[in-house]
Amino acid sequence: MSDKISRQLVQAQTLARAGAYGEARQILQRVVSKARGNINAWLLLGQINGALSLHQEAERAFVQASRINPRMAETHADIGIALMRQGKQEQAVSAFRMALDIAPRFVPALANIIALLHSLDRQLEALPYLEKWLVAEPWNSSAHFNAAVLHQVLNQLQLARVHYEKVLELGAAGFSVISTYLNLGVVCHGLRDFDSAITYYNKALEIQCDSAVIHYNMGNALKEQGRHNEAIASFERAIELDPNFNDAHSNILFCMNYRNDYDAQQIFERHMEWGARYAAVGTQHNNTREPMRTLRVGYVSADFREHPVGFFMESVLRNHDAHNCEIYCYFNATQDDAVTARLRSYVQYWRQISTLDDDAVAAMVSADGIDILVDLSGHTSGNRLQVFARKPAPVQVTWLGYCNTTGLASIDYLLADANVIPPETAQSFSEQVYRLPGSYICYLAPDYAPAVVVPPCIANGYVTFGCFNNLSKVTRAMIGIWCEILHLLPDAHFVLKAKQLADPEVQQRYRDYFAGHGIAHERVILDGNYIDHAGLLGYYGKLDIALDTYPYSGVTTTCEALWMGVPVVALAGEKFFSRNSAALLAHVGLGNLVADTQQQYIEKAVALACDHARMEELRRTQRGIFMASPLGNAPAFTRNLEAAYREMWKRWCAPVP
């Protein structure tokens, strides 16, 4: 290399260090035009082109350098970065792999290919490279952070927790400590370790107290523990910091349903305040106003999976008449399961919407020509109510997933029945209540549901009560009522089964609640162990009598208990969400197990516990009665549902006077 070329390279390096990239680039272009075999000039030119965002030029320079020396891992990694910045992702992956073929533990290439594969949702492909990075640099907190993120996305939560905790042990570097605490909270929440989740959120708030997201996540963990007042306070704080935090608004409304100290009017007014924020845009609908044509019906949910909504929807999707309704499902989640696969097989049009914003989903619904759009979430997790606020379909309905009003003027109807929302109800709704004949839901038991077994009291010599409802529904007042029953029946036992009880500290808290009412710990089983759905249905065989919750009653758990031959004692309230179990029991001829007062609830539970013959009879007959009832007749239920859609559609088609 001549002295002149050497001086020019030094000059270009000096200019580049000073940020004078344009001048440095001009010098290097002259150098490579005369000394095309100078690899250092090509490498520096590639770096400077990259700094100037001339990524295609950077790629060309690095490619030229790789031709001079094909065995330099660094050069292939630089090519990968230039390709990645041009959006040529697959070519970039190949370039990084070439670098790693030369130097398998070359950390810059490892870090980049992991990040790239992660961005392409190919986390499983990234894992082997991650393992190499951890072997090469076990002390590198960035490597452990990346490992935690990948395992979290893959729902390998225990592994994710280990790596996040290793990040804290090593000391965060190059990224936020808050992110580590926040992600650890999310992971612990997923592991049902809610107390640890709350601890990590508190640590994050010590560093950044004005984060709406952290306060929101804190509220979710508190909600899972049934600490609704504290949860509402956290959601309120999130809204103070971010007034447009829609999910926080929805979660406040959700939690209010679980509190007995809010009356129906207070809850309604808060829903209406939320709805007023999202007035419907004046959308024009071009749907053909033909009253008797095949209707395009769209169902929107994040719960087309192993979830109560998924279970209830299976009976409907299996029985829709294609001559009456053309069905579209809009799925707002990324993780699916066997239930998702079955539901997808029943419909012709399945849309994945979890990555789309509200405007895009509304545009999709409009382009699909949907006549009736049905919300299956209300204010529960994963809802897309702001899509409904845009009124993309001429007729919009809310049903099944949320036992209250949405508060949206753009939703026309709320599907219910005369048992859950009697015509004389004092409860208010923003939607018009449309009452289906019989029941507003239909339960299709899975094929794997086990056979009914005899009441365990026959062998045990004592009665076992139980509740499998979500722990959020189990209030301190409800536990007090259950304990009164246990005091009246000194030999009786009680089983409380809920996923949240997998957290030892939560379990101890609930054990203390029972102990505080004088109930010995050996009489109470608190079970948070995971079992699959078939196992859960079989677990009902351990119960003689199921005791429902108040003010928010069971729905799925009540259906499951009845299907498994277990009678349910319920306390009916005035609100929609307080009447589900009462309605379900009425449909199967067990209205006499529905109480109107707490004292009646106690008396009915005790009386049934003393009547072993009746419990044995119910085990023999209850499943057959269920199948013959409106709850168990899926074809008839779906015809009623389609008739409701037809009437709603006719109303829309009718000329406006």
Number of folded domains that form the chain: 3
In a domain, 353, yes or no: yes
Q: Note the pLDDT of residue 281.
A: 65
Q: Which of 115, 41, 130 is nearest to 77 (CA)?
A: 115
Sheet architecture: strand order including 594-595: 524-527, 493-497, 464-467, 545-547, 568-571, 594-595
Per-10-residue mean pLDDT of the chain, 657 residues long, equals 77 85 85 83 86 91 90 92 93 93 93 92 92 94 94 95 94 77 96 94 95 97 92 97 94 91 92 86 86 98 95 96 97 92 97 96 97 97 95 97 96 97 92 96 94 97 97 94 98 96 91 97 96 96 98 96 98 95 96 97 98 97 95 96 98 81
Host domain of residue 338? 260-444+633-657
Alpha-helix residue ranges (DSSP H) falling in 261-356: 264-276, 308-319, 338-346
Same domain, 467 and 512: yes
CA dist 596 to 190, 207, 469, 579, 607, Å? 37, 50, 20, 11, 16
Tokens (6 digits) for 490: 């000194």
CA distance 332 to 381: 10
Same domain, 539 and 479: yes
Q: Note the pLDDT of residue 28.
A: 80
Secondary structure of 351-404 in the HEC alphabet?
EECCCCCHHHHHHHHHHCCCCEEEECCCCCCCCCHHHHHCCCCCEEEECCCCCC
In a domain, 642, yes or no: yes
Same domain, 136 and 25: yes
Contact 330, 351 (CB under 8 A): yes
Question: What is the reported pTM?
Answer: 0.86
Q: Note the pLDDT of residue 175.
A: 59
Q: Note the pLDDT of residue 24.
A: 80
Domain CATH number, residue 556: 3.40.50.2000
Same domain, 421 and 500: no
CA distance 42 to 32: 7
Same domain, 430 and 462: no
Same domain, 299 and 429: yes
The dihedral over CA atoms of 424, 426, 431, 432, expressed in degrees to the nearest 10, equals 20
Whether the link from the prior residue into 108 is cis, omega within 30° of 0, is no
In a domain, 163, yes or no: no
Contact 387, 413 (CB under 8 A): no
Q: Is 3 in a helix, a strand, or coil?
A: helix
Q: Is 138 in a helix, a strand, or coil?
A: coil
Dihedral (CA of 568, 573, 578, 580) sign: positive
Tokens (6 digits) for 318: 């299996």
Among 141, 156, 171, identify where a domain stops: 156
CA distance 527 to 202: 27
CA distance 202 to 188: 13
CA distance 447 to 341: 15
Q: What is the DSSP string of 416-451?
A: EETTTS-TT-----SSEEEEESS-S------TTPPP
Q: Note the pLDDT of residue 1.
A: 55
Burial classification of residue 637, based on how many CB atoms lie within 10 Å of its CB (0-12 exposed, 13-18 middle, 19 or more buried)? buried
Q: Which of 361, 170, 297, 218 is nearest to 643 (CA)?
A: 297
Domain CATH number, residue 71: 1.25.40.10
Strands (E), 63-167: none
Q: Tell me, what DSSP letter sits at residue 491?
A: T
In a domain, 47, yes or no: yes
Q: Note the pLDDT of residue 261.
A: 85
Same domain, 374 and 510: no
In a domain, 28, yes or no: yes
Same domain, 85 and 137: yes
Same domain, 566 and 648: no
**Which H helix or E strand runs over 113?**
helix 107-119
CA dist 107 to 82, 86, 110, 172, Å? 17, 22, 5, 18
Domain CATH number, residue 640: 3.40.50.11380
In a domain, 450, yes or no: no
Cβ burial 484-498 (10 Å sphere, 16+ → b, else e): bbbeeeeebbbbbbb
Same domain, 500 and 391: no
CB atoms within 10 A of CB 216: 21
CA distance 77 to 318: 52
Instruction: Please enumerate in sequence order all residues whose Cβ is within 8 A of that of 142, keeping only pairs 6 or more positions apart, or say none.
Output: 111, 173, 174, 175
